[in-house]
Amino acid sequence: MPLTRVTVPTTETTAKDVPDLTSDDIALPSELKTVLLAGLFLFAALTAAYVAAEVILPIVLAMVLTLLLLPEMRLLNRLHVPRSLSALLLILAALTGIFALGAAVSGPAKTWAGRLPDGVPIIEERLRFLSRTSWHKVTILTQLPAQHVTHARAEVTNAADQDDKRFGFLN
């Protein structure tokens, strides 16, 4: 009696074209619509983050503090310190560190700020090369409209004064 091969249908499928995952080439989108859509999505995400900054920033700060203080929390839990007490101790230690850093930096910052007026001419001398570049042109272009407005105001004032004198408003 010959054996017949019986195939049982299953839900398992096999991929005919298996992608090469060892390749470092990632296909970038080539359609303009896809690129523009990604740009719009990025713009919308950044706008939403800006609008929701009052909510997002405390959440992000909490996540960062959690990541920074989690190893110390585990250590204090292994020492059988209650969770709330260890959280309080770690927050107080972090605040103490921030205040200590501020106190350590405030002295040099104060002396630097005191020497700043003496250093301005030195900084101007070292940055004088910028006045010969296009920045000088930008400064001139930003000053021109203000000069035109001032000149026009003076002309209008002079014309108004002459009219007042002509018509006898000013004695």
In the block, residue with structure tokens 């409209």: 145
Average pLDDT, the chain: 79
112 and 61 within one domain: yes
pTM of the model: 0.41
Please say whether the beta carbons of 29 and 38 come within 8 A.
Answer: yes
Tell me: the pLDDT tens digits for 51-71? 998 998 899 999 998 999 999
Number of domains, the chain: 2
Q: For residues 38 and 49, what is the distance between their CA atoms, to the nearest angstrom?
A: 16
Q: Is the pLDDT of residue 91 over 80?
A: yes
99 and 44 within one domain: yes
Cα radius of gyration (the chain)? 36
Q: Is the pLDDT of residue 141 over 80?
A: no
Q: Which of 79, 98, 117 is the last residue of a domain?
A: 117
107 and 37 within one domain: yes
Average of per-residue pLDDT across 88-107: 92
Q: Assess if residue 102 is contained within a domain.
A: yes
**Of the candidates 80, 75, 73, 110, which has an alpha carbon nearest to the alpha carbon of residue 94?**
73
Tell me the backbone φ, ψ of residue 20, rounded to 5 degrees: -85, 105
Range of the domain at 106: 32-117
What band does 16 get if pLDDT is binned at 50, 70 and 90? Answer: low
Please say whether the beta carbons of 76 and 89 come within 8 A.
Answer: yes
Q: For residues 23 and 7, what is the distance between their CA atoms, to the nearest angstrom?
A: 36
